[in-house]
Amino acid sequence: MSGNEGRLAGRVAIVTGAARGQGEAIARLFVAEGARVVLADVLDTQGTEVAAELGDAALYTRLDVTSEQDWQAASTLAVERFGKLDALVNNAGILHFGPLADTTEKQFRQVFEVNQLGVFLGMRCAAPHLTASGGGTIVNTASINGFVGVANTMAYSASKWALRGMTRTAALELGKQGIRVNTVAPGSIATAMIAPDGVEKMGDDAKSAFARLPLGRIGTPDEIAAAVLFLTGAESSYCTGAEFVVDGGSLAGPVYD
């Protein structure tokens, strides 16, 4: 598909956490749909390789989402290289597993700084550029952990609950500037975050949990990318402050034989 024909034709986007997993899938789909994309991550080798594969419509930049300076540089780079900024996907995130009693202050702060502060800084730095483009879209990646309590994920779950409130607040504040802000909330997705050695090497307990989902399987990064594409494209033009759950039915409840 040429850049003049896709659903994001002429759009310019920043995607964080774009070196692998969901972020990579989002960046690849955006380019396929006509967008020009700044892939942002701290995994320099992987990010550079993905951007090179995508050609002239993509470039990679190192972005520590906890650094306001890095955010300003990435936003400026998008405008300098591609002429404007229309969309931001705050996809970068980290997960810490461990019970409350064993989670250190440092670990808790690190998760919050990436998952919450990083999104705040991204929205704050991108908003003026989106406004200058006549409006735009922000999609923040939450999680089903932001809807229910999940044992051994205290920091991660707290950060995702917070992200939902941040998204709605931003939608209220930025709507008059033509900026739509929405949340996509993945369930279990086959990425390095939850399956570092691949789904096939996960334990029997995890596989059994996926089997009990209404759809009976783990999700794919491409399925998250499709939801983000919808929230970034014209089809969702009347959607803001909304939450789009992509979880195979997890929140509906487990299925038992």
DSSP state of 145: G
2 has a pLDDT exceeding 90:
no
Summarised one tens digit per residue, pLDDT across range 96-131 is 999 999 999 999 999 999 999 999 999 999 999 999
Given this model, what pLDDT does residue 210 score? 84
CA distance 190 to 227: 16
CA distance 229 to 37: 13
250 has a pLDDT exceeding 70:
yes
Query: What order do you get walking across the sheet with 179-186 strand by strand?
Result: 58-62, 36-41, 12-16, 87-90, 136-141, 179-186, 243-246
Summarised one tens digit per residue, pLDDT across range 204-233 is 677 778 888 999 999 999 999 999 999 999
Summarised one tens digit per residue, pLDDT across range 163-197 is 999 999 999 999 999 999 999 999 999 887 766 66
Decide if 156 is catalytic.
yes
Residue with tokens 């919808």: 230
Task: Check 60, 156, 238, 256 and give the catalytic one.
Answer: 156
Average pLDDT over residues 136-159: 96
Structure tokens at 13: 């986007």
Tally Cβ neighbours within 10 Å of residue 52.
11
Sequential DSSP letters for 6-40: STTTT-EEEEETTTSHHHHHHHHHHHHTT-EEEEE
